[in-house]
Amino acid sequence: MDVMENLTNQWLELKSLEKMLQQEMQVALTNGTHALTLNEFYVLHCLKETQGHKLQISALSEKIGLSISATSRMLTRFEESCGVITRCVCKGDRRGVQISLTPLGKEELAEAYRLVEPVLAKYQAQLSNFSNRNEAK
């Protein structure tokens, strides 16, 4: 098998693994106090990982892979439904809007991590294999 075929097969394996992970994580997240979507989980996780737990909508949309308008609509529903995020005007750019993680959001994220942990643990070896294969080349 040539290098291109090998890389293509690895990519297809990774896509398949990603699809299984997303499906199982989504099922796990519906068992929380507030049934989260996978994108809502991504939002909470991304906010937690940033300094000050704040991001502009444009940066957040880039991180989660949605358009700015789709991200904004999702955030509006998310903000109104469970209060885990808030919006505020950016200090440096009064036209910009930042999304902040609330204390309730931190609690919801901790619960979400507990819900998805078994799913991620189940696939940990496969994820490590991809990482190890790429390091070996």
Contact 68, 58 (CB under 8 A): yes
What is the band of 131 on the pLDDT scale with cuts at 50, 70, 90?
low
Q: Which domains occur in the chain, in start order?
A: 34-124 (1.10.10.10)
For residues 86 and 91, what is the distance between their CA atoms, to the nearest angstrom?
Answer: 15
Q: What is the pLDDT of residues 38-48, one digit of tens each?
A: 999 999 999 99
Beta strands per DSSP E along 17-127: 54-56, 85-89, 97-101
* The pLDDT of residue 82: 86
Q: What is the mean pLDDT of the chain?
A: 89
pTM of the model: 0.84
Give the least confident one: 96-100, 106-110, 125-129: 125-129
